Amino acid sequence: MEGVGAEGASAASPVAQWGNDVWRMYQYYLDKSTPHTVHRWIGTFVVMAIYCLRVYYVQGFYIIAYGLGIYILNLLIGFLSPLVDPEIDPSDGPLLPTKGSDEFKPFIRRLPEFKFWYSFTKAFVIAFVMTFFSMFDVPVFWPILLCYWIVLFVLTMRRQIAHMIKFKYIPFNVGKQKYGGKKSSAGSSGSRGD
């Protein structure tokens, strides 16, 4: 009786080992891509362009594109929102500085850039794969979906921008003051013999 269980475990072991090796290699390259923000986003826009060309070429799968748009909008809201929303958790007072004398607290996103990029790219890849299955090609009148998505986007972004103005935070580094930090004392002393 014990031989049958051990035989099944050893037969599944190479498959499980291969799956584990593939996952570790995938995670390794994903980790290596972390500091290369521009290259990651260029790759994502290439994937996005391929998906858009596929939908345009096939002239279908608009419901998948609509669902993808809603999901991307949801990711964008998480990306633009602070980790601790002062409107939801007012118990500690305002967490973001409102006066020049307040302590500086950096903007921490609810959805970090890497997770935003990863989810964004994964969504386009999944949507692209779904365009190869005709069961997902539900006939819809796409202009109505597009109009509804635009209205949803405008209303959502208006609310998000009003929230940013109300709590005085900017989720981007554009226009923010940059601090140089301390200068090295060895470099400024002029004691080098060069």
Residue 26 counted as domain residue: no
Q: Is residue 32 a part of any domain in this protein?
A: no
Distance of CA 132 to the CA centre of its chain: 25
pLDDT on residue 119: 96
Q: Which of 138, 151, 161, 5 is nearest to 60 (CA)?
A: 138
Count of Cβ atoms closer than 10 Å to residue 128 Cβ? 19
> Any idea what DSSP says for residue 182?
P
Contact 125, 47 (CB under 8 A): yes
In a domain, 59, yes or no: yes
Establish if 3 belongs to a structural domain. no
Please state the φ and ψ torsions of residue 109, each to the nearest 5 degrees. Answer: -75, 150
Residue 114 domain boundaries: 43-86+108-167
Residue 107's pLDDT is: 74
Residue 174 is assigned to a structural domain of this protein: no
Task: Flag whether 179 is in a domain.
Answer: no
Q: Residue 88: what pLDDT?
A: 73
Q: What is the pLDDT of residues 110-165, one digit of tens each?
A: 889 999 999 999 999 999 999 999 999 999 999 999 999 999 999 999 998 888 88
In a domain, 14, yes or no: no
Question: What is the spatial distance between Cα 129 and Cα 144, in angstroms, rounded to a whole number?
Answer: 24
**Structural domains in the chain (count):** 1
Round the average pLDDT of the chain to a whole number and report it: 82
Q: Is 76 within a domain?
A: yes
For the chain, which residues score pLDDT lower than 50?
93-94, 187-194
Q: How far is CA 35 from CA 2, 40, 148, 174, in A?
A: 50, 9, 37, 19
